[in-house]
A and B are shown apart, each in its own frame.
Chain A
Amino acid sequence: MTEQDRTTVDVTTPLEPGHSSPGFLEKHLRAGDFTVTAELSPPDSANPEEVFRRARIFDGYVDAINATDGSGANCHMSSVAVCALLRSAGYSVVMQVSCRDRNRIAIQGDVLGAAAIGVASVLCLTGDGVQSGDHPQAKPVFDLDSISLLSILRQMRDGSQFQSGRKITCAPRLFLGAAANPFVPPYDFRPLRLAKKIEAGAQFIQTQYCFDIDRFEQFMTSVRELGLHEKAFILVGVGPLASARAADWIRKNVPGVHIPDVVVNRLAKSENQKEEGKRICIEMMQQIREIEGVSGVHVMAYRQEELVAEIIEQSGVLGGRTPWSPR
């Protein structure tokens, strides 16, 4: 695979059978590889080099990079722009789209444009409430929710039309994703909600941080009973915790992150908390890999991105495979 092939967009090339996008994330997942994605936190800067610098540290370790869309309701460089920059260097990207800031007109336009610059995977999110970010005074949009967004994007792809019914001359070729959070109530409803997302068009799932393997096993048992693991690829969210204090802060302040006391206590008791946080993450990845129905991991190492390569290397989840990188 040459760099030229990775960066050019040719909408006329036929897709591989059974694929809905030309993306590498879909290729790896459908090939049955244990796939690794990582989250890139977009810079608060207009300098493109900052985006590349943040992407480079993942080189050779991840199959696709998630570009977040105002994560935690904080303002950063837009996910479309980050994707455009990363695509120009040939990276596989997952564009995150949140319903908090834009209505259906803006989102559909963005997705069409993103497909034109070679974005193949889109993660549909409802988004955090504005109260959790740096602009709590902003107007929350929430014109759509993640499930209606999925259905609209699927209609754009498969039906070549906008939600209004107006025709799209060249449909975007997308691999559609959604998020899942098995770690917050109502627990029994979570697998059903996942089923809804898959019914609405989700082909891959990236979950919230998993620190509670028992809870996750329970969730996966229901998922397997419903046969959902055969209808969508599930990538489990993991990440290192910097310290017991950081863990405690995260679980109290970041919406939807559940960190059990066992983990926080283990961190608090250790001599080198940062190292212990890394070890917990690695153990978690190895345990997750053994669970039936899991297709990969999604590494979110907020402000600890430099650890990602090390963690993936030591966990051995890639099984000797080296994902593509521009270098």
Chain B
Amino acid sequence: MQLVTQNTICQSARVARQRANCRKCVKSGRVSASLKGIETTPVYRVRRWAARHARFFESFYVAFEAVLIFLHPLLRRIGYRRLERPVAAMEKLAKGFLFDTQMCGSCTLSATGMVCPMNCPKTMRNGPCGGVRSNGHCEVKPEMKCVWADAYAGSLLMRHGDRIREWQPPVDHRLKGSSSWLREIRRKTGDAETGDVAE
């Protein structure tokens, strides 16, 4: 049953994408005006591509985290506070390109199918709301696939996709814009200075 859902999600996305790309379809009106909106924007297409390759990005993230943890002594010597701004800028660039992340500062990508939940218009962090349309699209933005439908499909591909069942605490809005990479390394290495960047 899970496989069926996943296939339908991928299939409908593929069809929609093909139509949005097809000039004939656009001209003949098979693609609605709203669909031409977000479906064709590069950020949206890249972020959905990333969700379909959640397994790869999951492994990549694990490796990347290991590298950062290995670099922890060096990073500490440079000073986390000094690194905050350049790393946050880098993080925003990379994650923004791949996952269209909103830099909430409490990144949950690996627990949400490599999909940024902050792209949900209601910023739902614990699953889809009850307003999802029958075609799996968003209640607020009808032209957009529900962020959580993509997240669930992504999680099914992942090795530790079960993490989507963990519940996420409310966002600390003070952390917006700060680097969650640095925070995560400091948390994992038990760095003494672990604390809120905004403080």
Interface residues of A (CB under 8 A from B): 99-100, 104, 126-129, 131-132, 140, 142-148, 151-152, 163, 179-181, 184-189, 192-193, 195-196, 199-200, 208, 255-256, 258
Contact = CB atoms under 8 A, between A and B. Distances in A.
Interface residues on B, range: 20 to 34
B170 A189 contact: no
Contact of B127 (A128, A152, A196): A196
A25 to B, nearest CB: 21
Contacts of A181: 130-131
Interface stretch (B15-23, B55-63, B66-74, B118-126): B118-126
Contact of A184 (B5, B132, B170, B173): B132
B152 A186 contact: yes
Given A186-B148, A256-B132, A140 B5 contact: no
26 contacts: A99-B122, A100-B122, A126-B122, A128-B131, A143-B173, A145-B129, A147-B125, A147-B167, A148-B169, A151-B167, A163-B170, A181-B130, A184-B128, A184-B130, A185-B132, A185-B135, A186-B136, A188-B1, A189-B164, A192-B164, A196-B165, A196-B167, A200-B167, A255-B131, A255-B139, A256-B130
A145 B165 contact: no
Contacts of B123: 142, 145
Interface string B59-91: 000000000000000000000000000000000
* B contact patch SS: loop
Interface in B130-157: 130-136, 139-140, 146, 148-149, 152-153
Contacts of A193: 126-128
A99 B146 CA distance: 19
Contacts of A142: 122-124
A181 B128 CA distance: 10
Give the 3 A-B CB pairs with smallest separation, nearest first.
Answer: A181-B130, A255-B131, A148-B170
A131 B122 contact: no
A175 B79 CA distance: 48
Given A151-B169, A184-B132, A255-B133, 11 more contacts: A99-B122, A144-B170, A145-B126, A147-B167, A151-B170, A186-B128, A186-B136, A188-B1, A189-B148, A255-B131, A255-B139
